[in-house]
C-alpha cells in the first residue's frame, strides 16, 4: 500500500491540511460565487471601460490569465494579464485595473496599483487584507472584494477567481452564462468525491496521476486558449505543492520548436512524464497535432499521461481540469512524503527583498 491509501499517514504528512483544502474546492467555489453576489461594485459600475488589465502574481495572478483566456471567446473588451512591476504604456485611466493579491502585500502588484492610482484609473481589488485593503480605504475609484484569510494563496483559488470573474460579468465586461457556472460546479462536485482521500488509488484518477508521475520529471502540455493557463497552473501547483521541477508548453506553438528538442538526451527524457491536457472535441488540427507529436517523440519519452478534459462549456472545462491538477499535485507531494503547504523559498525571497527597502 502506498502513502496515498494510508489515511493516518496522509494526516501526518499534511499537518496544515492542504489536501482538505483541495477536497473542499467545490465549497470554496460556491462561497466565491456568494462573495461575488454580496460585493458592492457601486463605485466602479456604470462606467465605460476601454479594457481590463489584471495585475497579480503566482496563485493570485493565475485568475487573470484564465479570465483573459476565457474572455477571448466571449468579450469584446481587450483584456491583458500583467505579471510584473509595470503596467504597459497603452493602459490609460479609462481601463479597469483588477488587482489580485491574497496577502495584499505583493510588491509587484502594489507597484502596478500605484501606477494605476497615479493616473487616476478605476480599480477592483480582490484580497484577504494587507496593504491592498488599506489602499482601498484612501482611494475613491476602487471597489474591494475581501475574501477569507488564512490559506495559502494558491489554495484560495475559488475565493480569488470566482469574485473576479463574476464581478466582470456584473460590470458587463464579460458574458457569463449561469448554466456554464452550474455545469462547472457540478463536475467539480462529482470529481471531488471521486478524488477524495478515502477512494483508493485503483479507483482514484488524481492519485493515479501522482503515482504515474512518480519519480519522473513532469512536463505539462496545454493548448491555445484557456487550456494554456490551465497547463501553467498544473506546473505551478506541482512546483509549489510537490516541490518538484515541472515545465509546460502549449500546442500548436510547441510543434514549432520544442518538438525538435526531443531528439537528444534520451537517457534524461526517458525519465520525463508528459502530461497532455486533451480536449476530445477541440480544434481538429490540434487533435491531429497531439497524435502526431506523440508518435514523433514516443521513443524518447518515459510516460504519457492524458488528462481528458470534462464538460461542454469553456468554464467547466477550465475549472475541472485545473481541479484535477491541483489535487493531483497535493497527492504527488504526499506520495513522496513531502508536506504540501510550506513554500519556504518564496518566503525567503520575499524576506531578502524586504531587507533592501
CB of 61 to ligand F6R, least distance (A): 7
CB of 267 to ligand F6R, least distance (A): 33
Contacts of 161 (CB under 8 A, 6+ apart): 32, 62, 63, 66, 67
226/232 with CB nearer ligand F6R: 232
Residue nearest to ligand F6R according to CB distances in the complex: 58
**DSSP code at position 1:** -
Which of 48, 256, 267, 355 is catalytic? The answer is 256
Active site residue 256: yes
- H helix or E strand, kind and range, residue 222: strand 217-223
- H helix or E strand, kind and range, residue 193: helix 178-194
91/156 with CB nearer ligand F6R: 156
Q: How far is CA 255 from CA 83, 223, 250, 292, in A?
A: 26, 11, 9, 10
Active site residue 350: yes
316/319 with CB nearer ligand F6R: 319
CB of 131 to ligand F6R, least distance (A): 10
303/350 with CB nearer ligand F6R: 350
CB of 106 to ligand F6R, least distance (A): 3
Provide DSSP, 110-168. HHHHHHHHHHT-EEEEEESSHHHHHHHHT-SSEEEEE---SS-GGGGHHHHHHHHHHHH
CB of 127 to ligand F6R, least distance (A): 8
Query: What is the number of residues in the chain?
Result: 357
Active site residue 283: no
Which of 23, 183, 237, 240 is catalytic? The answer is 240
Task: Measure the CA dihedral 112/162/154/6, to 10°.
Answer: 180
| Distance between CA atoms of residues 40 and 63, nearest Å | 20
Please report, as ranges, the residues that interact with ligand F6R according to CB under 6 A. Answer: 57-60, 101-103, 106, 109, 152-154, 240, 343, 346
95/232 with CB nearer ligand F6R: 232
Which of 9, 294, 336, 350 is catalytic? The answer is 350
Residues carrying an active site annotation: 240, 256, 350
Amino acid at each position: 500500500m502506498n502513502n496515498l491509501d494510508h489515511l493516518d499517514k496522509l494526516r501526518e504528512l499534511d499537518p496544515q491540511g492542504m489536501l482538505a483544502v483541495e477536497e473542499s474546492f467545490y465549497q470554496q467555489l460556491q462561497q466565491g460565487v456568494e462573495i461575488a453576489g454580496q460585493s458592492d461594485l457601486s463605485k466602479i459600475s456604470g462606467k465605460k471601460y476601454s479594457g481590463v488589465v489584471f495585475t497579480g502574481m503566482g496563485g493570485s495572478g493565475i485568475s487573470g490569465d484564465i479570465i483573459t483566456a476565457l474572455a477571448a471567446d466571449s468579450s469584446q473588451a481587450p483584456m491583458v494579464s500583467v505579471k510584473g512591476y509595470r503596467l504597459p504604456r497603452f493602459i490609460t485611466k479609462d481601463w479597469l485595473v483588477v488587482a489580485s493579491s491574497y496577502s495584499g502585500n505583493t510588491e509587484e502588484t502594489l507597484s502596478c496599483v500605484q501606477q494605476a492610482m497615479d493616473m487616476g484609473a478605476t480599480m477592483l481589488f480582490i484580497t484577504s487584507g494587507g496593504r491592498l485593503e488599506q489602499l482601498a480605504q484612501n482611494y475613491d475609484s476602487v471597489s474591494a472584494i475581501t475574501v477569507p484569510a488564512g490559506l495559502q494563496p494558491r489554495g484560495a483559488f475559488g475565493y480569488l477567481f470566482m469574485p473576479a470573474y463574476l464581478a466582470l460579468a456584473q460590470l458587463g465586461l464579460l458574458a457569463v452564462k449561469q448554466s456554464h457556472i452550474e455545469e462547472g460546479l457540478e463536475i467539480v462536485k462529482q470529481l471531488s468525491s471521486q478524488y477524495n482521500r478515502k477512494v483508493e488509488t485503483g479507483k482514484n484518477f488524481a492519485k493515479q496521476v501522482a503515482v504515474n508521475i512518480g519519480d519522473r520529471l513532469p512536463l505539462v502540455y496545454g493548448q491555445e486558449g484557456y487550456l494554456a493557463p490551465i497547463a501553467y497552473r498544473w506546473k505551478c501547483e506541482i512546483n509549489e505543492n510537490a516541490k518538484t521541477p515541472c515545465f509546460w508548453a502549449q500546442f500548436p506553438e510547441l510543434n514549432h520548436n520544442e518538438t525538435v528538442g526531443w531528439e537528444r538526451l534520451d537517457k534524461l527524457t526517458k525519465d520525463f512524464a508528459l502530461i497532455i491536457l486533451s480536449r476530445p472535441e477541440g480544434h481538429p488540427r490540434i487533435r491531429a497535432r497531439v497524435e502526431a507529436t506523440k508518435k514523433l517523440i514516443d521513443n524518447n519519452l518515459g510516460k504519457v499521461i492524458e488528462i481528458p478534459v470534462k464538460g461542454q462549456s469553456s468554464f467547466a472545462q477550465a475549472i475541472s481540469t485545473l481541479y484535477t491538477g491541483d489535487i493531483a499535485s497535493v497527492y504527488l507531494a504526499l506520495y513522496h512524503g513531502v508536506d504540501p503547504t510550506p513554500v519556504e523559498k518564496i518566503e525567503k525571497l520575499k524576506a531578502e527583498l524586504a531587507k533592501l527597502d
